């Protein structure tokens, strides 16, 4: 999908186009992360990885949105350049649209992180349920007996 933000469009539509693309970006990222087959990893890692690490990094991203100066954040500038290239956008890095895009991308990453955290929590809960543990034990025994 390509969107061109040409000079003939109004400023409002520049932001509308960015909003639409960001919404699609969020939906795609969340869907691809949630549908990864990571259940086995969750089963084993849920005993050792603390969700606080992910929650703290998401909190840091939220504080960066409030603090501004997003153009100084290296990974965000790189993400913006990839996003601009992917969607063939014509946005000057000195423009208000570019600063708007940086903010939108950072807010999008926060939404994606929060969705992944919720998904991870539900998988962890499942991984600690007695039914799941019994099912996994049966699967592991079957694998061992088949060899």
- Residue-wise pLDDT for 74-106, tens only, equals 899 999 999 999 999 999 989 999 999 999 999
- 112 within 8 A of 26, measured Cβ to Cβ: yes
Residue 3 has pLDDT above 50, yes or no: no
Q: Helix or strand or coil: residue 128?
A: coil
- The sign one gets for the Cα dihedral 11, 13, 88, 77 is positive
Which tokens go with 59? Answer: 């909190």
pLDDT tens, position by position, 50-71: 677 778 888 888 998 888 888 8
Q: State the Cα–Cα distance between residues 19 and 17, nearest whole angstrom.
A: 5
Q: State the Cα–Cα distance between residues 17 and 38, nearest whole angstrom.
A: 33
- 89 within 8 A of 3, measured Cβ to Cβ: yes
């Amino acid at each position: 999908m390509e969107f061109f933000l040409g000079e003939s469009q109004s400023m409002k539509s520049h932001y509308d186009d960015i909003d639409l693309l960001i919404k699609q970006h969020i939906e795609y990222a969340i869907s691809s992360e949630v549908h990864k087959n990571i259940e086995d990893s969750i089963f084993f890692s849920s005993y050792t990885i603390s969700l606080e690490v992910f929650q703290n990094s998401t909190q840091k991203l939220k504080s960066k949105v409030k603090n501004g100066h997003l153009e100084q954040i290296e990974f965000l500038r790189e993400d913006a350049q990839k996003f601009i290239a992917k969607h063939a956008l014509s946005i000057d890095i000195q423009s208000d649209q570019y600063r708007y895009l940086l903010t939108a991308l950072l807010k999008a990453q926060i939404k994606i992180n929060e969705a992944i955290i919720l998904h991870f929590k539900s998988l962890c809960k499942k991984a600690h349920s007695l039914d799941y543990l019994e099912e996994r034990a049966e699967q592991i025994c079957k694998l061992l007996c088949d060899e």
